[in-house]
Structure 1
Amino acid sequence: MKIAIVTDSLTNLREEDLQKYPFIYYAHLNVVVDDKSYIDLKEITNDQLFRFIDEGASYSSSLPSPEVFVTLYEKLLAEYDAIISLHCTENVSGTVNSARIARDTIEGAKEKITVIDTNTASIGVENIVIKVCELLEQGKSLDELLEVIEYYRTHGQLYLTINDLTTLVRTGRISKTASRIGNLLHIKPIIGFKDAKLEVMSKVRTKKRLLKWMLERLRHDIEQSGKQVVRITHVNSIDLATELKHALEICGDKVDVFISNEISSVMAIHFGRGGVGASWMPANYSV
């Protein structure tokens, strides 16, 4: 059976992985600046986005419409027997719902297209996508792949730091007063997923404490489920991402650590510049 993997631009896979797995396809979100729409990953970079923001531009994001997915799915069904469509949790983005509407629109597609809310986002989805691609190349069946995906939907972690708290004010997560106090005291919240919803997991004031917190969490999960595959992303902060990689590699052969692409511009709108994130999941699964 020939299977295609679809994801969205929030995942922002590395070019080397896209080259290695040519059966991966994107549905792109959009960045809207002063009412002009830019295709995420294609027509705007984070440097350009923050330049617009610094100049006082208004900005937002928009989802790929169901019609975008219909066009993509119909094209792929002419070449592939089945499609696995892996997307960011609906608690962060409505993209997965656009994919579901598209699948239901195409006659006979429900048996050929599986749309999955991964319960994670960004590099968390990337981890699952790459694992599925590896297993697909090993000859795993569609049913086996879906079992593995279900396992990883509940066995992965994703943590993101917010460098500028004014970003959280704009998204309604904290008050302006809390933002001013937090920025003044250099408090950096660590955002994570609990029951597929974003929550503040901890607050740190120094880079050293951030690295220590991440390492402690990773070590805990290694004790619980063995070797972990770790992916790191950032927003205009490659130096901090590299430091985090080195800090986590203290775990030795119990981890494989990769620095992924910078977070997509749509994600950067909501998390601001200067942040860093890490996602990990067990290297081996049990289904």
Structure 2
Amino acid sequence: MHHSGPHWEDSLSMPKVRIVTDSAVLLDPKSQRELDITIMPLTIRLGNEVFREGVDISAQQFLERLRQPGAYPRIEPPSAGDFIRLYESIGAQGDIILSLHHSRRLSKTVRAAEEAAASLVGRQKVEVIDTESISYGQGILVRAAARAAAAGEDLASIIRLVRGMIPRVYAIFFSDTLDYLEHTGRIGPAQSILGTMLQIKPILVMEDGEIIPMEKVRSHEEAVEKLYEFIAEFSEVEELVILRNPYFNNVPLLLERLKELFPKQNIPVYTYGPSLAAHIGPYAVGAVIYEGL
């Protein structure tokens, strides 16, 4: 007769939660090395060329390419099929996958991941989360999920943690041009033409996963002032990073002022990647703020 006692080996090998994200993420190098995170690359089309983000081209190389006139990138999301293959390749028997992606308002990546998860029901457990963010904001959430998974937290607690953090991640950008916002459909052509005529440059914020123009400025100095005012509203920050293109000269000024405001805070500066550049262009600077729980 078959003995149906407790399966001790089952309780010892708890199902692992494996973390997946996409290449729109910006992770600090230390987290990328130390945490077990699988990154699904997005495809970038620029003219006749095709690159895999984060694999074939660096952030800096990409921004240099974008400075050539008329270079508008198209970021193409992975297909549901790509996600199915990835999920099947990383999930061992019984493992659970938590797939965290940049905002569904910015591309169809979340939708492709959700389709893949739905078609694997019964074979592989996959949960998909829309981080409502991109770049370093997405990175903060992915890193928190990966740390919790490494500490052996179960899926429900990791999802709860991430959902609690999402509304506390803020992003603000200054873009030197309205062209990219028009190109990705964030603003209409009339607004873009008028803005260019009047030398207006947008200050953009991320709200509910959407990048929206918040204010208009006319100079870099005014832009730095607006970024500073936005960040100064926070009484406490757990993380504060500057995202910039390598050609923006006013970063030291902004950093200096922010260090006076948050003297104990480490404020790293990173070059933003292609997926974000497709929306804000190659001449932007901004900040990501995480308030902490």
Q: TM-score range by the shorter chain?
A: 0.7 to 0.9
2:103 equivalent to 1:89: yes
2:52 equivalent to 1:39: yes
Provide structure 2 residue ranges, at least 5 long, that are not aligned to the other structure. Answer: 1-13
Counterpart position of 2:166? 153
The 5 Å alignment of 1:235-250 reads 235-237=245-247, 239-250=249-260
2:82 equivalent to 1:68: yes
Q: Which moved more, 1:117-126 or 1:30-39?
A: 30-39
> How much has 1:116 moved relative to structure 2?
0.2
- Which AA in structure 2 matches 1:77? G
> How much has 1:80 moved relative to structure 2?
7.5
Compute the TM-score of the two structures, normalised by the length of structure 2: 0.82
Provide structure 1 residue ranges, at least 5 long, that are not aligned to the other structure. Answer: none
- SS at structure 2 position matched to 1:103: helix
Counterpart position of 2:10? none
Residues 130 and 170 of structure 1, relative CA distance in 2, 3 Å threshold: same
Counterpart position of 2:112? 98
- Asked if structure 1 preserves the Cα contact closer than 8 Å seen for 2:45 and 2:51, the reply is yes
Counterpart position of 1:130? 143
- Which AA in structure 1 matches 2:27? L
The 5 Å alignment of 1:164-175 reads 164-175=177-188
Q: Which moved more, 1:208-217 or 1:86-95?
A: 208-217
Say which one has the larger Rg.
Answer: 2
Cα distance in 1 for partners of 2:87, 2:253 equals 40
Counterpart position of 2:7? none
Residues 96 and 241 of structure 1, relative CA distance in 2, 3 Å threshold: farther
From 273, 280, 284, the counterpart of 1:271: 280
Runs of at least 4 residues of structure 1 off by over 6 A? Answer: none
- SS at structure 2 position matched to 1:44: coil
- SS at structure 2 position matched to 1:10: coil
Cα distance in 1 for partners of 2:93, 2:262 equals 42
Cα distance in 1 for partners of 2:287, 2:72 equals 29
> How much has 1:233 moved relative to structure 2?
1.6
Cα distance in 1 for partners of 2:116, 2:248 equals 37
2:213 equivalent to 1:205: no
Compute the TM-score of the two structures, normalised by the length of structure 1: 0.84
- Which AA in structure 2 matches 1:233? L
- Which AA in structure 1 matches 2:226? W
- SS at structure 2 position matched to 1:173: coil
- How many pairs align? 278
> How much has 1:75 moved relative to structure 2?
1.5
Counterpart position of 1:231? 241
Cα distance in 2 for partners of 1:214, 1:55 equals 27
Cα distance in 1 for partners of 2:256, 2:78 equals 36
